[in-house]
Amino acid sequence: MDNEKILELKKKAADIRIGVIDEVYNAKSGHPGGALSSADIMACLYFSELRIDPKSPKDPNRDRFVLSKGHSCPALYAALALKGYFDTEELKKFRHLGSFMQGHPDMKAASGVDMSSGSLGQGISAACGMALSAKIDKKDYRTYALIGDGESQEGQVWEATMFAAHYKLDNLCLIIDNNGLQIDGRVKDVMNVMPYPSKFKSFGWHVISIDGHNIDQILAALDEAKTVKGKPTVIVAQTIKGKGVSFMEDRAEWHGKAPNDEQYKIAMSELKEYRKSLDKE
């Protein structure tokens, strides 16, 4: 992969993380942990992979993206703002009365959002519908969906998994943000969903396992997914909840709470210091 491109995507991921903390802090509520863990994936999708245009957000030939784990929308909103769908200053209005940036994505309110989500397990089903629609209409757009590992405890996820394989949805790419934590603790303790690779293979999917914070690996996996024919692809991305903020990393309590003033200063200092270091590379 091109080193300059990878560096630019690292910068975008860092900017997304800064946006996440700003959003949740200003709202005094939200879900920073899973938004931070998915930032590298979101950067690669929105600034390298997705065939989209902020000037034409409803283009029928655009690629689709469904954030099935809708509570992680601070990362989605930050990516959309950086992409040019709306001004980055709007991020400060996250979860404020009257804002289009609700606590879960609303396709009728926010430009660039392809599917309203938040009821866990449902997003992958919507993504299957989008992918099947493309097949029926003989369109070449691709559909991507991001789910959480805790979310995959939902039975609907596995119904959709069967559906996608049955209809040979090779234009569908599912990404699992496998950070190992959910609101009640370790995923393996609440309801173990592993091992993903063998489960998805048994359902008829092509499986790619990666480090979800390695830009090179994310891009390579997305490229590989486009070469697969006759079956859908799942990318199992190993991530760290709260990635980028030292006191949030791998801590379940940061699944759904906002930092206080002191914590906000620490988090922003760490994120901005890292972002500055990228400018020196």
Classify residue 199 as exposed, middle or buried by CB count within 10 Å of its CB (0-12, 13-18, 19+).
middle
Can you give the pLDDT at residue 1?
Answer: 63
Could you tell me if 146 and 112 are in contact, meaning their C-beta atoms sit under 8 angstroms apart?
no
Can you give the pLDDT at residue 281?
Answer: 82
pLDDT in 10s for each residue of the chain, 281 residues: 689 999 999 999 999 999 999 999 999 999 999 999 999 999 999 999 999 999 999 999 999 999 999 999 999 999 999 999 999 999 999 999 999 999 999 999 999 999 999 899 999 999 999 999 999 999 999 999 999 999 999 999 999 999 999 999 999 999 999 999 999 999 999 999 999 999 999 999 999 999 999 999 999 999 999 999 999 999 999 999 999 999 999 999 999 999 999 999 999 999 999 999 999 88
Contacts 24+ apart (CB under 8 A), 2-10: 5/48, 6/215, 6/216, 6/219, 7/278, 7/281, 8/47, 9/40, 9/43, 9/44, 9/47, 9/48, 9/215, 9/219, 10/40, 10/43, 10/215, 10/278
Can you give the pLDDT at residue 124?
Answer: 97
pTM: 0.97
For 47, other C-beta atoms within 10 Å of its C-beta total 18
CA–CA dist 108, 100 (Å, integer): 9
For 106, other C-beta atoms within 10 Å of its C-beta total 17
Whether residue 195 has a cis bond before it, omega within 30° of 0: yes
Classify residue 202 as exposed, middle or buried by CB count within 10 Å of its CB (0-12, 13-18, 19+).
exposed
The set of residues, in sequence order, having a beta carbon less than 8 Å from that of 115 and lying 6+ positions away, is 64, 66, 67, 105, 107, 123, 126, 127, 130
CA–CA dist 280, 75 (Å, integer): 25
Domains of the chain, start order:
3-279 (3.40.50.970)
